[in-house]
Amino acid sequence: MPAYDYSVLADLYDDFCVFDEDIEFFRSAAAAARGPVLELMAGTGRVSLPMLGAGADLTCVDSSPSMLEVLSRKLVGHKQRARLVCGEVCSLPLATGFELVVLPFRGFSELVGESTQLAALAETARVLRTGGSFICTTHNPTIRGPAADGSWREIGRFQGRQGRTFVLHLKTALSDRPGVVVGEQRVEVLDAHGRDVERRSVALEFSLVSPAVLVEMARSVGLAAGRMLGDWDGAAFDETSSPALIAIFEKVG
């Protein structure tokens, strides 16, 4: 089960989710892939469209019909086609055969609980060809943990469609379950005159997983750890400063 109800925000997602620092990284990975590429938790296609543009033979999986509906509309008239699959990463409705699997936007964090995380890793290993790669992104717990202090933060103000401004707020706190953060995300929509015209909020939870635990879980399902990056420019992971953990695994025989 996803840790957020994405149907609440799907139609607004592209207005406030304008993060693009990882795009070049995934575009290059897709361009270098020598076979089919699978994107897990593809959402509305923030990363899918650039990967398609790079020539990827792409399959996108997401459990939210609302998010996939937005992606499917964007693909109408697009030169390249992607296969869109509504499904859970813990039970992928796909056969083996992918050269590259990617999980962008710290998506691994949205898998809460060890059994869920292990199931997703095992499914990823199953659908990868031997020798294929898995790029898994997640939070750096050392950096993200202290920000889960129970206070509301304004994450940003984004100019969206029809002159509207989308203000994103987030409140997160450590729960009583080890490594699990709970919280709420709120989006305020202001019209062109700055009037508050709509507010939506959604409960969320995510996990903080240490690199060592991730590597061990992956190893147990046949994924060997390779490079551990800490930023989209290819910098090595540094527990004390990296904004994310980008772990690259290889499926071993």
Ligand X SMILES: C[S@@+](CC[C@H](N)C(=O)[O-])C[C@H]1O[C@@H](n2cnc3c(N)ncnc32)[C@H](O)[C@@H]1O
Among 15, 36, 56, 64, binds ligand X (CB under 6 A): 64
- To ligand X, the closest distance from the beta carbon of 240 in angstroms equals 25
Query: What's the DSSP call for residue 237?
Result: P
Residues 11, 31, 53, 63: which binds ligand X (CB under 6 A)? 63
Across the chain, where does the E strand assignment appear? Answer: 37-40, 58-62, 83-86, 98-103, 128-138, 149-159, 165-174, 180-190, 196-207, 223-229, 245-251
42 binds ligand X (CB under 6 A): yes
Residue linked to tokens 């969206």: 160
Closest CB to ligand X among residues 121, 130: 121
Distance CA 60, CA 71 (A): 10
CB distance 206 to 177 below 8 Å: no
Which of the stretches 27-35, 37-45, 93-101, 136-144 binds ligand X when contact is defined by CB under 6 A?
A: 37-45
Angstrom distances, CA of residue 52 to CA of 20, 39, 75, 107, 233: 16, 11, 10, 20, 21
Q: Select from 8, 11, 17, 243 the one that contacts ligand X (CB under 6 A).
A: 17
Alpha helices in 38-113, H assignment, sequence order: 48-53, 65-75
Minimum distance from residue 179 beta carbon to ligand X (Å): 17
Binding-site size for ligand X (CB under 6 A) equals 18
CB of 175 to ligand X, least distance (A): 18
Looking at residues 92 to 151 of the shown chain, list those that interact with ligand X (rule: CB under 6 A): 104-105, 107, 110
Stretch that binds ligand X, among 61-69, 151-159, 165-173, 218-226 (CB under 6 A): 61-69
Distance of CA 60 to the CA centre of its chain: 12
Question: Rounded to whole angstroms, what are the CA distances from 134 to 21, 178, 181, 221, 223?
Answer: 19, 26, 25, 13, 8
Check residue 67 for interaction with ligand X (CB under 6 A).
yes
Choose which of 12, 41, 82, 135 interacts with ligand X (CB under 6 A).
41
CA distance readout (Å), 196 to 9, 38, 62? 17, 39, 31
* Of residues 206 and 249, the one with the C-beta less far from ligand X: 206
37 binds ligand X (CB under 6 A): no
- State in angstroms the smallest separation of the CB of 142 from ligand X: 21
The token pair at 98 is 């992918």
Least distance between ligand X and beta carbon 90 (Å): 6
Stretch that binds ligand X, among 25-33, 58-66, 131-139, 225-233 (CB under 6 A): 58-66
Note the residues at the interface with ligand X (CB under 6 A): 2, 6, 17, 41-43, 46-47, 62-64, 67, 88-89, 104-105, 107, 110
